[in-house]
Each structure stands twice: as structure tokens, then as C-alpha cells.
Structure 1
Amino acid sequence: MTGDPTTLCEAFQRTAGRFPDRVALRGADCGRELTWADYARRVRELAVGLAGIGVAAGDTVAVMLTNRVEFHLVDTAILHLGATPFSIYNTFTAEQIAQLFANAENRVVITESRFLATVRAADPDGRIEHIVCVDGEFEDTLTLDAVIATPVTDFDFDAAWRAVRSEDLLTIVYTSGTTGPPKGVELTHANLLFEFAAMEALAPIGPDDRVVSYLPDAHLANRAFAHYNNLIRGVQITTVADPKQLIATLPQARPTLFLAVPAIWYKVKSGIETLIAAEQSTPRGLLLRWAVDTGASVARLRFAGRSAPLSLRIQLILADRLVLRTLRARMGLDAIRIAVSGAAPIAPDAMAFILGLGFPVCEAWGMTESSAAATANRPDAIRIGTVGQALPGVEVQVAADGELLIRGPLVMRGYRHDPEQTAAAIDAEGWLHTGDIGGIDADGYVRILDRKKELIINAAGKNMSPSNIEGAVRVSCPLVQSVMAVGDNRKYVTALLTLDPDACAAYARRHGLADGAPAVLAEHPGVLAEIESGMREANARLARVEQIKRYRVLPVTWEPGGDELTPKMSLKRKPIAAKYAAEIEALYD
């Protein structure tokens, strides 16, 4: 095979052929490792077996799995048949899954035992012909071994994957739906290969790199950053089925590439702030605070294009040797070459804090409909407060109403079976209307203000960004996990807050409290005093009209995939407003 690969099947075959003895996939417990040779053999076996149960080119196959090695095996095997795998969020209800089945028209589902009841409930009419369960034998299901044992005798595996074309459908990604039913974004092999070629120009990636797959594979960011990165660039993947085990996994996985949504970076910041608070009066605590503050100060200057004074640069060298290097190693993030923050804007102060720790975090921006990133900060040219410049071959412009538009080969084929929504999203000139409001500076750096439909317009007609307000609170209040700013058509801004369980547990230990549950601490005077102090600090960062006048600390925790948060931890603003209408109205009494 010469030239660049034209499909992800061809990319996988090249990668497996070049590095047969290297580890390609591994479980979080290190008990299971597959080399590229193992991976290629299993893909061949599974593809032939899936053909045996009727999966053919042009078909769709649903995959509802946690982050585990089997996800990569079955997804890649399906691709080699010329079929299209699509992933389902683990938190989706049977009703939501039924909508996906109707849109995708799949006849096969690959899942695990914990989701069997939900999958079956999503198919009351029995249109699903085969349910494959990857972790055991259950009634009316097939195991992976059973699939492998039913091959088509005359099936030509190599001919099947070679017949796949660049314009063929690679996957359908169903949006998590903050405002309505999920839409099926159709992406081709050409879309993703262009995306990776563009990203390669910013940061070369190869088989020596390691990633941790812990975010949902139903979300394109993780699917691309881990799974497709693995197929195309040969990076090694460590799978983490339970995101709560991420912290324990990082020290032994030691990723060189790391992807996180802003909520994860806020949690890193909160954890370190909690560590400092626990020893604030001790020499160790003072040293830690000095080191962190020194790093953040240099980061702010460096990434604003200004040179730090020699004395500050010397202090940073000492801070890194004495504290920061050890801190990164304890977290298992000392090997990181490139870290990416995406899915939502991150507060500039939080970004400076994270960069100051020595993490090369590049904020990027895009959407499922643009095959993930359309812009990104280069590791050597990060500009805090921006999402970087357009990737090579991608055009970004600002419409008359401030909406950002994207054009290029990474724009989706369209929404599945929905020409009206497709026409609304992609205009006649090929511009994808993103729904994000932003601007582009003279150097081409893009800034995101907020979602077009989520801007707060107060009673006086002032436009405000809720994410900017919420980011200020997250930076200033380590005890807070989720924030939703309210103020549309109101006289002033209010907010609903929830507490971070981990930060609450640390607070309880620090203060000798028997119960550190958020429901208990939401009414604790000491916690409320800390939050009040943090809110004053947050308001000091905001324009007067943006400042939060009243707020409510809720005695609950909002979980990803629940009523309040999408699986990628974005706020479901309308459902939250409806569910907590009484609490919101009380803030305006």
C-alpha cells in the first residue's frame, strides 16, 4: 500500500502491519493487553463472524459498551465489513435508544450484561435480530466466541475491507441532546482522515504515544482522540470502564496525550486547591502555594505574548524542581506532551492555573458536525482565552449576527434521514452554522462567547454569556461542582450551585466532620461561608451587570447523563430551569 490511506480500514491494516509486537490495547488493570498482531487477528475473526450472522456492507450496528477493549475490537471489525458502527450513551433510557434504533435501522446490537434489560426494552417489536453480549452467556444473546464460531465459509475478508471507499459512512454520532431528541450526525472516512491530517500539521502523533479512554465513546471527542487515533496513528489505548477509576489508572498508564472537558480541569484545580487548604499554614502548604502561583504568573505572561522577568523565570525553575514536577508525577500526568480541553470554553484563570502546573493544555473548538476540532491552539503558540486558529484547510468566519461558521472537508455529510435539519445547518455555500457566538482576532485566533441560544439577555436588554459567569464561579469556589447562571429577561443574575462530592469529603476530613455528603454540607455554616467568600471573588472578576446577586446551594449532585447534565457534562439548561423552577423563582422574590 502506497500513498496516504483512504479509509480507516486501510489505516488500521498499515498500523498493525508496521507494529505487530507493540501493545495496541490494554485494560485499566493491566491484566489484559493486546498487541497489534493480536488486534488484527481478532478483528479478522470478528468480521468474518459478524458476516456470518448477516452484517454486510451498508448495514448499521449499534454498540452500547463501557470503555473496554472489546469496544475497539468490534467497532474496527464492523468497519472492515463496510458496515457502520454507532455508539449509544450508557445513560440513555430505553425510550431514547428506541429513537436511535428507528433512525439507524440497525438489526444487530453489541452490548454487555448491565445494559441487556434496557436494550431489550428499547425493542418491544423484536426488530433487532441479534444481540451480542461481550461479557457472558445470556438467554437469546450471542457471545463473541459464538459470533466467531459462525463464519461465512466463502467470505473474503481482505476483499471486503478493500472495497470500502473514502466517501462511505464511517459512523453515526448521536448528539446528546440538551434541547431536543438526538440528531444522527453522519461522518465519512474522508471526514475523519482530513481531520487527522489537519491535526498532524499542528502536533505529530505516533506509536510511542499513549492515551486513556475514559470519556464516552458515544461522544466524538473521545472516539476520535482514542479510537481513531489508535487506528490512524498507532497510539496505545488504556481503557477505563468506570470514570471514577481514572485517577487511580493514570499513574500506571502515564498518558502522553490527554483529553478532558473543562469540568475535569476544574476538578484538577479544585483538588490542588483543597490540598493547599489542608496545609495552608504549614511550610509544605506555603511552598505548594508559592509554586502554583509562580507557575500561573509565568503562564499568564507567556501566553499573553510577554516575557516573564528573569527573576520570575528562575523562580519557576525552582518551583518545578521542588514541587510541580513531583505533583505531576503523583497525578500520573508527568509524561504528557499534549493535553486538549474541549466541548465548552474554560475560564482563562483556570487555564492559566493548569498551564502553570506544567501541563501543555491546548484549548480546541469544534462540534460533532465538524468531525471534532475545527480550530486549536498549537502547543508552541497557546493564547489563553481563545480556542486557537483554524486547522489547515478549514475556513472559519463570523456571520452578521456573530455566529461562527465553518467550511471544509471535515463538515459532516448530513443528519441521518433529516434533510430539513441538514439544510438548516449547512447553507448553500457549504458553511456549517455552529450555533456558537464568537469572534476572530487579527492573528486568526478564535474566541467563543457562548451558545447562540443560551445567551442571557436581561430585562434591560444586556447580552451576557452564562458560561463566562459560571466559569468565574468554578475558578473561585473549589467546593462547587456545577453552576447554572439564570437571568434571561430578569433584572439581575442568580445561580444554582451543587457541591463537589470529593471536595466535600476533603472538607469534612479537614474539619473533623462525621458526614461529608453534599446533601449535609449544603447547609453547613462553614461551607456556606467559604462559598460566599468565593462568590465575592467571582463577582469581582465579572462586569457589574454579570455579577450574581443571589444564589442557592442545592442539596443534590448532578450526574453526567442525568436530568441536569449531558454525558459530556454540559448543562441541560431548559430541563434544569423546569425542574428547579420553584428554587429559581425564590431567588427573585
Structure 2
Amino acid sequence: MNSAQSLIENRPTSVAHLFLSRVEATPDREAYRYPVPVDEQAADSTPGAEQWRSMTWAQAAERVKAIAAGLMALGILPEERVAISSSTRIEWILADLGVMCAGAATTAVYPSTNADETTYILADSGSRAIFAEDAAQLAKVLGERAQLPELGHVIVFDAPAELPEPEGVEVLSLAELEARGALHLADHPDAVAKTVQAIDREQLATLIYTSGTTGRPKGVRLVHDCWAYQAAAQVASGLLVEGDMQFLWLPLSHVFGKTLTSGAMQLGVVIAVDGRVERIIHNLPEVKPTYMAAAPRIFEKVYNGIAAKARAGGSAKYRIFQWAAGVAREYAKATERSAVQTGTRSAPLALTVQHALADKLVYAKIREAFGGRMRACISGSAALAPDIGYFFSGAGVHILEGYGLTETSAGSTVNRGEGYRIGTVGPPLPGTEVRIAEDGEILLRGPGVMRGYHNLPEQTAEVLESDGWFHTGDIGEVDPDGFLRITDRKKDMFKTSSGKYVAPSEVEGRFKAVCPFVGNVLVIGSGRNYCTALITLDESAIMPWAKAHGLAGKSYAEVCASAEVHRLIDGSVARLNAGLQRWQTVKRFTVLPRDLDIEHGELTPSLKVKRPVVERRYAEVIESMYEGAREA
């Protein structure tokens, strides 16, 4: 039996077992790092300054056990649900571990979820208690208290000076919960240990509600074995290695963020945690991580920002950037071909010389912006435009694209090490099987697959076969070396009126590669005689361009509506169309006055576009692109 197989087969019984085993093995090793405000009373402090504080595994265990015992003192029983509605922060991780060490199950709630949907999730899950981040999250819950008869306790991370005392529900601070837990442990010192010992593999650990592009979200039942498998598979595949420092900013309410905490426990590597997206660019040089995961939109924004900065530096600097970007892509493609053919990455001498010069002029600065030690970035939740992947690969920032769903506890396939292939989502993780159905749909089977949708047996039966195969709803293909390539969402592919199939994500990905100003793009054409597109622009990229092209003083919306910007985007659409089949080409487009966002319900919290929502909202705009026109 090889080491990878041994890791999978001998994985821990539960996340709680995994955590306590890690604490026992390396109690004094650093586990987590998190930002705290600098003491403003200090002589050398500046307002708003922060510093990173460390927490060992032993220190984490002390707090986790207190939280677990506190929940027991509140009467929370095994497999009962306890929700968490908070941004990504150290308290989220501690609360989640506390819930699981109490034998209960975490209901993950995005803090951006509105009151109506939060109420639905809490009611559908039957959550008995909830950890609320702050006064805003507290108010959201208490405002709908009448619809939540099972909810008896709210624990607040950032508690106000005076906690409310609503009828029928107890509100307490996290510190108060931990104090109760300490008292409970004083009377029952082995309470947590006994509870953890009784947890089995199939015990519910987490309910994560799909963000859903249509209708109400569905609660995905993920048992302890799902997360224990993910932890073992991440290490067995080499995604995490000894000495790694992981920077974690992804939403922990999302399966992609949450699975990363399990692998770190398996190997005992450090997680630096801070969910504030606006702090990423500041945090990376401070933390100097070796490993980070993100959605493609983050890498697209970084690329657009680099291009905008070069453009702002003048025509000479921008020409150097464009040359370096081209060299990066060619170098990445050449070394990838070499790796496939010979097993080692190399490039022709002339290209290698150009790459070395470009590295001194451009790439080294990009790597420094990532902290200077980045071994790998994992990209997931949506497709990464290949040209973006090739650019970063050539610049020495290796983006390993992976694939998984909430229903598979995140990772199912992933590129890894030096053998990654851009444009694919890699081979399956050890212990996971991939099969392509006759209609091209990707089917997955393995320990990470959910045990069903909560309270929805009929919808479970629609996607989960009795022999364990899960229907993903995605279309793809597996190459001879076992690398999976995603073609499109089964439900997103459309047929034009001439009978030609179009995979919109493919066209959208290509457009993102040729247009450094794009925010989001939605290709439309189902039942139509040609394709059109709704396009939004990245404000941080387009506004500097606008200032340099006679549009200074204009608002973002005015810039988007300008003739100058229309000509700019028209050029990008022309470059896109030059590489497409005739039936795929975009004949007309509209630049929208603002980017898509979560607040308007157009993006999921993991930044996927809700196509039906956007198409309904801009129905008149879409119709106008087809009025009085025919295919040329």
C-alpha cells in the first residue's frame, strides 16, 4: 500500500478526532495567525494599525473545548444544528470546531444573506443556536424571531456593550459562552473527550446551503467522513506540504473555504486567516504565504490591476508589460508541452533568454506582490480563463485549477505540482472516481460526496444514484492522461435557432483574456439566430483609462455609457470573434452601467453569475440587441 492510499484508508473518524489528534501531536506548534488592532495607547501606534497574532494548537484546543462544553451546557445535543453567520475570521474556525467537538453540526450562513433567506435556512435546518458576528447579524436574526421557534440561543462574536434580552431567546457573548464551558468542564472534565469518542463517520457535521442560481437554496448534508476524506486527500495529493503557510480569506460559509481548514489540520500547517477582501493586497506581503486559494475573479482583477498600473506608467512601460505578458504565455505553453512530452518543464533557449529578461523587468515584482514565497494558488468555483492562467504561470505564480461542488465537499479533481495543465481541472483526488455519461455529463463518486439534500429525498434521488454516483450537471471530457476538462454547465449550454450548440462559459473566458477591463460578461443566444453579450467593466481598471482618454471627471456609469468606451470594447469583441466559430461570435453587445454584485442578487457569494437573475433584470436590454437585426 503506497503512502497516499494509506492516508486515505486510515483517515480519521471525524473532524473532531482529527483536531484533537493534531493538538496531541504538536500542541506547541503554531496553528493559526490572525489580525488584531494595535494597542492605540502605545506610544508608537497609529490609528487603525493592526498586527498579526499567533495561536498554537494547544491554545486553540483550550478555546474549542470551552465552546463545545458551553454548547453542551446550553443543551445542544449531538447532530443538532448550530448556525454560524459571520465573515471569515479566527472565531468562525473556533466556533465550527467547537460545534463539531460538541457532536453537533454546523449550519453555514453567508453574512451577506438577507434576513428572509437567513430565516429560511435557520428554519429548514432546525438550528437550535447561532453564532452571529456582530450587531447587524444579531438584528437580522432577532427581527425574524417569531418564525424561528427552535432557535433558543444567539452567541455574538463582537458583542455590543449591552446585549438585548428578547423574549424566548438568550443572547450572550462568545466570552460568556466560553466561561460557561469552563464551568461545565470543571464539573465534567471528560465531557468533550467522551462526546468526540462517540462520533462516527456518518454523523452529520455540516449543512451548507447551495447559493442557488434559481429558487430556494438546498441544504447539503456533509458528514464527518466527507471532511476527514478531504483532509487526507489534500495531503495525499501533495497540495499541502510540510512547512506551508496558508493564507485563508475565502468565505468559510462556502465549501471551498471550509475544506481548506481540514487539510491544514491533517498536516499541521499554519493558516493565516482574514476574510476582508480589501485587505488581501496588504496582507500577502505581510503574511508571505506559500499557498492560497481564490475564485478566478480575484486573479482576473489582479491581472487587470497589473495591466492598468503599467498603462498608467506611460506608453513605454505598457509596451514592456505587453511584451512580458506575451513572453509569459509563450513560455508557460512551451514548458507545459515539454512536461507532457518529457516529464520535465523546459523551453527553447531563445524563449528562455527572453523570459529571464522579462522576469527581471516584470515578473519578480508580481511575485513580490504575492508575498514572495507563493508555491501555489488554487483556483476554483468557476472557470479560469486559460490566458490568465498562462500569464501567471509564466510569471512564476502557479495557479492550479481544481473542480468540485458543495455536494462533493469541494475538491474532486485538481491540478498539482509541476504536472499541472492549464485549461483543465486536473486528475481526480485519490479516492475519487470520475465518469463521463453518454450525454457528456460529469459523474463523481467518492467519500466526499454528500449524503443527500436536507429534507429533500426526491431532489436527492434526481442527482445521487443508489451506487453513489453523483450527477454534477457539468459537461466535460477526460483526456488520455486522466485530466478533466470542463466544457460548460449542462443547463447553461444553449442552441441557436440554426441548431448550433454554444458553450457560453468558453466564449466568456476567451473574452476575459482579450479584454483587461472586463468585470463580468454574459453571452446570450438560446433560440436566437446570433449571440449577444452583456458586459460590465472593472471600475478600478476602466477609470484610469478613462482619465487618460478625455473622460476625466465623468462618473463610472457615464464612462460605461460613453462612445469612447463602446469603441474600446468593440475592439476587444472583434479580437474575440476572430478566434471563434461563426455561430459563436458576438454580433452585438451592451456595456451595463454597473458591475454585477451580490447585493443585487446577481452573483452568488462565491462570485458565480446568476444567469436567470441577470437575464430577467436586463430583459429589455437583451431584446433591444435583437430588434431589427438579422445575422450578417
- Give TM class, smaller chain: over 0.9
C-alpha distance 235-507 of structure 1, shift in aligned 2 (>3 A): farther
**Which residue is equivalent to 1:94?**
115
**Residue 473 of structure 1, CA deviation:** 1.6
Q: 1:232 — aligned with what?
A: 266
In structure 2, C-alpha distance between the alignment counterparts of 1:545 and 1:26, rounded to whole Å: 51
> After superposition, what is the alpha-carbon deviation per residue over 1:268-304, rounded to whole angstroms, capped at 9, x for unaligned?
221122123223522x444433333212111112223
1:349 has 2:387 as partner = yes
- The 5-angstrom pairing of residues 525-536 of structure 1 reads 525-536=563-574
One-letter identity of the residue aligned with 2:81: T
- Aligned: 1:119 with 2:141: yes
**AA partner of residue 536 (structure 2):** T
Distance in 2 (alpha carbons) for counterparts of 1:522 and 1:49:
53
Q: Which residue of 2 aligns with 1:584?
A: 622
User: Equivalent residue for 1:486?
Assistant: 524
Q: 1:12, 1:313 → 2: CA distance? A: 46
Residue 290 of structure 2 aligns with which residue?
A: 256
- 1:169 is displaced (CA, Å) by 1.3
Distance 1:544 1:371 in 2: 39
Match of 1:272 in 2: 306
Q: What is residue 357 of structure 2 aligned with on the other side?
A: 318
Taking a change above 3 Å as real, the CA distance of residues 204 and 529 of structure 1, as seen in their structure-2 partners, is closer
Change (3 A) 1:15 1:478: same
1:238-295, CA deviations, whole angstroms, 9 ceiling, x for partnerless residues? 222321221122111222111111111211221122123223522x444433333212
Aligned residue for 1:390, secondary structure, equals coil
1:547-558 matches, within 5 Å, as 547-558=585-596
Q: Kindly indicate whether residue 497 of structure 2 is the aligned counterpart of residue 459 of structure 1.
A: yes
Q: 1:42 to 1:310 in 2, by over 3 A?
A: same
Which shows bigger deviation, 393-402 or 579-588?
Answer: 393-402
* Correspondences of 1:181-330 after superposition (within 5 Å): 181-203=216-238, 205-206=240-241, 208-225=243-260, 227-282=261-316, 284-304=317-337, 305=340, 308-329=347-368
Residue 154 in structure 1 maps to residue 188 in structure 2? yes
Verify the 8 A CA contact 1:508 1:515 in the aligned structure 2: no
Q: For 1:124, what is the secondary structure of its paired residue?
A: helix
| CA positional deviation for 1:508 | 4.2
1:541 maps to which residue? 579
User: SS in structure 2 opposite 1:414?
Assistant: coil
Q: Note if contact 1:364-1:387 (Cα within 8 Å) is conserved in structure 2.
A: yes
Number of equivalences: 585
How many angstroms apart in 1 are the aligned matches of 2:401 and 2:284?
Answer: 21
Structure 1 contact 499–518 (Cα < 8 Å) conserved? no
Q: 2:473 is paired with a residue of what secondary structure?
A: strand
> How far is the alpha carbon of 1:26 from its aligned partner?
2.5
Q: Name the SS for the 2:51 alignment partner.
A: coil
Contact in 2 for aligned 1:504/1:516 (Cα 8 Å): no
Show the counterpart of 2:536: 498
**Please, what TM-score do these two structures have when normalized by structure 1?**
0.95
| One-letter amino acid matched to 2:248 | S
Give the conservation status (yes or no) of the 8 Å contact 2:432–2:445: yes
- CA RMSD, Structure 1 to Structure 2 (Å): 2.0
Aligned residue for 2:428? 390
**Distance in 2 separating the partners of 1:520 and 1:254:** 39
- The answer to whether the Cα contact below 8 Å between 1:498 and 1:558 also exists between their aligned partners in 2 is yes
Tell me the residue number matched to 2:41: none
1:8 corresponds to which of 15, 22, 33? 15
Q: Does 1:145 align with 2:183?
A: no
Q: Note if contact 1:6-1:193 (Cα within 8 Å) is conserved in structure 2.
A: yes
Tell me if the contact between 1:252 and 1:332 (Cα under 8 Å) persists in the aligned partners: no
| TM-score when normalising by structure 2 | 0.89
Q: Is the 8 A contact 1:47 1:78 kept in 2?
A: yes
For residue 23 of structure 1, what is the amino acid of its counterpart?
A: E
Describe the superposition over 1:219-255 as per-residue Cα deviations: whole angstroms up to 9, x where unpaired: 1001112x22333332322222321221122111222
One-letter amino acid of the counterpart of residue 401, structure 1: D
Work out whether residues 79 and 205 of structure 2, in 8 Å CA contact, stay in contact via their aligned partners in 1: no
Asked whether the equivalents of residues 202 and 225 of structure 2 are also in contact (C-alpha less than 8 Å), the reply is yes
Superposed displacement of residue 108, structure 1? 0.3
The question of whether the paired residues in 1 share the 8 Å contact of 2:426 and 2:483 is answered with yes
Deviations 1:30-70 (CA, angstroms, capped at 9, x unpaired) = 35432222211111111111211122212110000111111
Q: Distance in 1 between matches of 2:623 and 2:306?
A: 35
Residue 167 (structure 1) aligns with? 202
C-alpha separation in 1, matches of 2:447 and 2:240:
21
Q: Which amino acid aligns with 1:145?
A: A
What is the letter of the counterpart of residue 158 of structure 2?
Answer: D
* Mapping 1:553-572, distance limit 5 Å: 553-560=591-598, 562-572=600-610
Tell me the CA shift for residue 446 of structure 1: 1.2
Tell me the secondary structure at the aligned position of residue 191 of structure 1: helix
Letter in 1 for 2:215: G
Work out the CA distance in 1 between the residues paired with 2:450 and 2:245.
28
**For residues 576 and 38 of structure 1, do their structure 2 counterparts lie closer, same or farther at Cα, with a shift above 3 Å needed?**
same
| Partner AA of 2:411 in structure 1 | A
State the alpha-carbon separation in 1 of the partners of residues 486 and 208 from structure 2. 23
Alignment partner of 1:22 is 2:29: yes
Kept in 2: contact 1:58–1:82 (CA 8 A): yes
Counterpart of 1:563, as a letter, is G
Q: Which moved more, 1:344-353 or 1:66-75?
A: 344-353
| Residues 91, 562 of structure 1: 8 Å contact kept | no
* Residue 362 of structure 1 pairs with residue 369 of structure 2: no
What is the distance in 2 between the residues matched to 1:170 and 1:561? 29
Q: Which moved more, 1:298-307 or 1:84-93?
A: 298-307
**Aligned mates of 1:85, 1:38 — CA distance in 2:** 22
**Structure 1 contact 377–389 (Cα < 8 Å) conserved:** yes
Shift of 1:485: 0.8
- For 1:290 and 1:366, locate their aligned partners in 2 and report how far apart those are by CA, in whole Å: 35
Q: Structure 1 unaligned runs (5+)?
A: none
Q: How far apart in 1 are the matches of 2:579 and 2:550?
A: 33
Q: Distance in 2 between matches of 1:135 and 1:68?
A: 12
1:561·1:567 contact (CA, 8 Å) conserved in 2? no
Shift of 1:24: 2.1
Give the structure 2 partner of residue 433 of structure 1: 471
SS at match of 1:373: strand
Change (3 A) 1:244 1:562: farther
User: 2:620 is aligned with what amino acid?
Assistant: A
Structure 2 counterpart of 1:539, which letter?
N
CA–CA distance in structure 1, aligned partners of residues 111 and 247 of structure 2: 18
Task: Give the Cα–Cα distance (whole angstroms) in 1 for the partners of residues 543 and 54 of structure 2.
Answer: 35
**Equivalent position amino acid for 2:390 in 1:** A
Unaligned stretches of 5+ residues in structure 2: 1-6, 36-49, 166-170, 628-632
Give the structure 2 partner of residue 76 of structure 1.
Answer: 97
Structure 1 CA distance for aligned equivalents of residues 623 and 550 of structure 2: 36
Residue 489 of structure 1 deviates from its aligned partner by 0.4
Contact 1:206-1:234 at 8 Å conserved across structures: no
- The 5 A counterparts of 1:52-71 are 52-71=73-92
**Which residue is 1:409 aligned to?**
447
Report if aligned partners of 2:218, 2:453 keep a CA contact under 8 Å in 1.
Answer: yes
- Deviations along 1:53-101, one digit per CA (max 9) or x if unpaired, are 1222121100001111111111111111111112101221111112211
Q: Take 1:393 and 1:230, find their aligned partners in 2: how far apart are those partners?
A: 19
Compare 143-152 and 474-483 and name the one that shifted more: 143-152
